[in-house]
Structure 1
Amino acid sequence: MDPNEYHGAAPEPEQPANRYPAQPHGDGRTDGGGSAVAGLAGEFGAELVRAIRVGLAEGSRAGHGARGPSQLSWYAFAAEYARAHWPGRAAKTRDEVSDALTTVTVAMLWDLPGRPNDKLLRRALRQWAFVVPGPGQGEMPTEDRLVLQWVAKASRLLVDLHDPVLAREVLESLRRKLDGGEAAVETMRRKRKVLVHALHYGVERGELGSHPLARIRWRVPKPAVAVDPRVVANPHQARSLLDAVSYVGGYRRARGRRLVGFFAGTYYAGLRPEEAVAVALPDCRLPTTGWGRLVLHRARPQAGKRWTDTGQFHDERGLKNRPPGETRVVPLPPHLVALWREHVTTFGTADDGRLFFTEQGRIISYTTYHRVWHEGRHLALPPALTETPLAKRPYDLRHSALSTWLCAGADPAEVAEPAGNRVGVLLSRYARCLYDRQSINNQRIEGLLSAYEQPPESDEPGMDEAVSSGSSR
């Protein structure tokens, strides 16, 4: 392929028939790259679907003839799946799909000569193979184009996944990180979900007669549902952390001062970080005294230019787990109202009314606020606590907020609504004790026990006299 002819899309994977040498078994048999196993595992149904499609399609090519098992490679199929499921998806979802397809594709490659190193291989797959080019995306580098040409030749057939040994190897690859360590449970679950959905798509398309993983007994460990109570800060610690953030960076650039209100929103209003960066002044009611109100209707999660339709780093989405266009009313405590009023007076708003923005007026990035939080945390906490998980991430402020509301005795239904959670999720995840809350409970228990250290006086009439007369005898 001439590099000058490329305009951003990944090259079409090659599809030569029977291009793989037969793979020998220990007893001398060969299986032609797994097609014999696939032929015994439900491909008759797939052939029937394809035959019907060919018969009904207008202008189908003459001389198609009877087809054996599908010769579609996994790489070609995965690229088609990514393109088909790109429109309308959230940018983070597109990124996660590309990540999962990359992991499976690497596990589905023959070890042919000329294999690129893992870094180049994954870069080409992640950035080009499973991406629909958007605005401002440049041309694919020649090095990455050559890598994808090698992948197209080295990719195993899609139907080879009917081999249970290969299917299990692919599933096991979902457990491993790049450094060989164990991947997080949530990462394994997400990648497996993409693989399962992609193979269902293959069944729909008639390339697979049945789902290859249906007979594989492979399970992902259950993730932890409840929030780790060690990350939850009490109100005193939260205030100390917010105060410390204001001292991060020089006063002139105000790296930390610009973000005090941002972090305060995640704590006092329980906002998710992607919701806090999208808060705009027209959506707020900030009275001079008393409680305020925020009508939340959008979030700006950071995904990267490659995954958004606009070519910007941040996607613009509706509220999490809510239908498009739905809003959420969030009460704002008086202390947060005062902080936000002061913030607007000091820094103004961005061109679109956003409260929190960089010196250049851009949306605050994940890296920016995490760096500021990390520095402020070391200023606020004593050394004994900086090494613990306490408020280690900005998101932990939301955990602390919801735990505080529940510990205050608020109705779970009233807490769940402004938090954007279902009551069941709220109670299972956030009903955790505040840091050092147990010491308060211990004091109450100790006080109650101390009150009963002396034996109680008898309240039966005449008992003292009876005891006294009995003693005199």
Structure 2
Amino acid sequence: MKDITYDVRIYKTEVYNGKRVTSYTVRWSTGGKPWKEPFRNAAQADAFRSELMTAARKGEAFAIATGRPVAWKRQETVLSWYSFTLAYVDAKWPYASPNHRRGIAEALTDATEALFTVESAAADRDVYRAALRWSYSMRVRDTAEPPTELSAALRWLEQHTIALTAFTEPGKGAPLARAVLDRISRTKDGKLAAANTANRKRMVLNNVMEYAREIGALPANPFKAVKWTKPRTLSTVDPRTVINIEQARRFLMAVRKDSRRGERMEAFFGCMYYAALRPEEAVDLRREHLVSLPDDGWGEMRLTNAEPRAGSRWTNSGRPRERRALKHRAEGETRSVPIHPELVTLLRTHLKAYGTGPDGRVFIGPRGGIMTDRAYLKVFHDAREKAFSAAEAVSPLMAVPYALRHAAVSTWLNAGVPAPQVAEWAGHSVDVLLRVYAKCIHGQETEAMRRIWDATKP
């Protein structure tokens, strides 16, 4: 028969070490015709080569058209959940921000725990979760071999997650979808997760299922068939966290007196309180952004970028922070913010004492590098403890640096600045501004009640 042959030669697996990825290629020939099959890791290549050799030793016929043993049944490739999630990550990675990449990995790691084909994993839970996170970092996965301690867990994951088509099976798809939703609604320890966390992961996984539908792997989104009550989230700023001007001045003075490191950070925290900068915007602030710093009166800054912290695994550069466009703004769009006279003084003093970094960065770390979370958080908590009374210190008042920005926006609104102007300075939409800061707008209740009384009094 011309469509089969027994002339089979199997060669040594070839390893290609590229700049971004290492591949393993199994090569063989049937009837003099060469064949090759690439794999992402050595274990997969070895398994495939071993199957070819076993068939050849048994004297099985090989098909001329496919190069495979005739005895191998042609089966439609079954896509496992784990393999599908890797494909999803690869598709989304180039277009997602570093923090969104990390969020995708967190959601997929939790969801995968609910989709094993056996009750318990072969590896310790911390190990296979670490293996999943490693898998979902495309930059790391494509540039290096997995750490030795994760290799076994990765091989196990490749074989022990459900087939994606299980979501379409009657009586099985809905329970699987509900199991996933239940898992992402809880922490690793089994406690109820914060509502914001659960909803964020639900949004990621809904997009995952829509992608499966888009590529034809699933006929419909299985989550749409499950009634799941969305956890209620706190969407407004708690007014108990917002400091007033007197407390802000106490805090900034405590920062300055904290240490030599604190002296460098007084203007840094001042930018969050007086100009409502996000921490990642203050980290990226450059001298060129300070349009005017007059000797007296108001100044102006024009922001162009921010450097949010996501972790080196999720950035393209491999650094913990990556410079990006301003939040909610297109690439190249800027935002002008007035500089309060007191902040003008702080910035002028800071620049005179410390200058700028090599790239014009206004705030640099104690050792001359980028300002890190670890550096400014230590000063923040130390100064908060010294500046506040015992009652204030144990309260939710300014528990995190971001609360300084909340205080700035609240102050602008309570001063009567029109909402569209506040939204422009803060980098919000008006709708989001009024929804988030609704409880922090003081002094309007009395006026509202007076108007109602005037309209209804005898």
Range into which the TM-score falls when normalised by the shorter chain: 0.7 to 0.9
Q: Distance in 1 between matches of 2:165 and 2:42?
A: 19
Cα deviation digits, residues 284-328 of structure 1 (max 9, x gap): 021111111111010000111111111111011101111111000
SS for the counterpart of 1:329 is strand
The corresponding residue for 2:117 is 110
The corresponding residue for 1:235 is 245
* Cα drift, residue 88 of structure 1: 3.2
SS for the counterpart of 2:130 is helix
For 1:317-396, what aligned pairs fall within 5 Å after superposition? 317-396=324-403
Do the aligned partners of residues 14 and 106 (structure 1) sit closer, same or farther apart at CA in structure 2, a change above 3 Å counting?
farther
Q: Distance in 1 between matches of 2:150 and 2:323?
A: 30
SS for the counterpart of 1:372 is helix
Do the aligned partners of residues 13 and 236 (structure 1) sit closer, same or farther apart at CA in structure 2, a change above 3 Å counting?
farther
Larger RCO of the pair (alpha carbons < 8 Å, separation 6+): 1
Cα deviation digits, residues 62-121 of structure 1 (max 9, x gap): 9999966x6110000001100111113211111111111111111111226762111111
The corresponding residue for 1:272 is 278
The corresponding residue for 1:210 is 220
SS for the counterpart of 1:133 is helix
Tell me the TM-score normalised to structure 2 length.
0.79
Equivalent of 2:160 in 144, 151, 154: 154
The corresponding residue for 1:310 is 317
Equivalent of 1:194 in 180, 204, 208: 204
* Cα drift, residue 368 of structure 1: 2.0
- Does the CA-based 8 Å contact 1:403-1:431 persist in structure 2? no
SS for the counterpart of 1:226 is coil
SS for the counterpart of 1:335 is helix
Cα deviation digits, residues 363-420 of structure 1 (max 9, x gap): 2122222221111100011111111110010000111111111111111111111110
SS for the counterpart of 1:406 is helix
User: Is 2:261 the partner of 1:255?
Assistant: yes
Q: Distance in 1 between matches of 2:397 and 2:276?
A: 17
- Does the CA-based 8 Å contact 1:226-1:428 persist in structure 2? yes
Q: Distance in 2 between matches of 1:216 and 1:441?
A: 42
- Does the CA-based 8 Å contact 1:6-1:140 persist in structure 2? no
The corresponding residue for 1:32 is none
Q: Distance in 1 between matches of 2:141 and 2:91?
A: 19
* Cα drift, residue 161 of structure 1: 2.6
- Does the CA-based 8 Å contact 2:281-2:306 persist in structure 1? yes
Cα deviation digits, residues 329-350 of structure 1 (max 9, x gap): 1110111011001001111111
Cα deviation digits, residues 162-200 of structure 1 (max 9, x gap): 311111011100111112211111111111111111111
For 1:13-24, what aligned pairs fall within 5 Å after superposition? none
Higher fraction of strand = 2
Q: Distance in 2 between matches of 1:392 and 1:413?
A: 28
Q: Distance in 2 between matches of 1:303 and 1:13?
A: 32
Equivalent of 1:223 in 196, 210, 233: 233
Amino acid at match of 1:270: A
Percentage of identical aligned residues = 38
Tell me the TM-score normalised to structure 1 length.
0.76
- Does the CA-based 8 Å contact 1:81-1:198 persist in structure 2? yes
Amino acid at match of 1:225: S
Amino acid at match of 1:247: K
Q: Distance in 2 between matches of 1:109 and 1:135?
A: 22
Aligned residues: 391
For 1:418-457, what aligned pairs fall within 5 Å after superposition? 418-433=425-440
Amino acid at match of 1:234: N
Long gaps (5+) in structure 2 = 1-12, 23-39, 48-64, 450-458
Cα deviation digits, residues 436-469 of structure 1 (max 9, x gap): x78x999xx9xxxxxxxxxxxxxxxxxxxxxxxx
Equivalent of 1:405 in 407, 412, 426: 412
Q: Distance in 2 between matches of 1:74 and 1:136?
A: 20
The corresponding residue for 1:246 is 256
Which 10-residue stretch deviates more, 100-109 or 110-119? 110-119
Larger-gyration structure (1/2): 1
Amino acid at match of 1:186: N
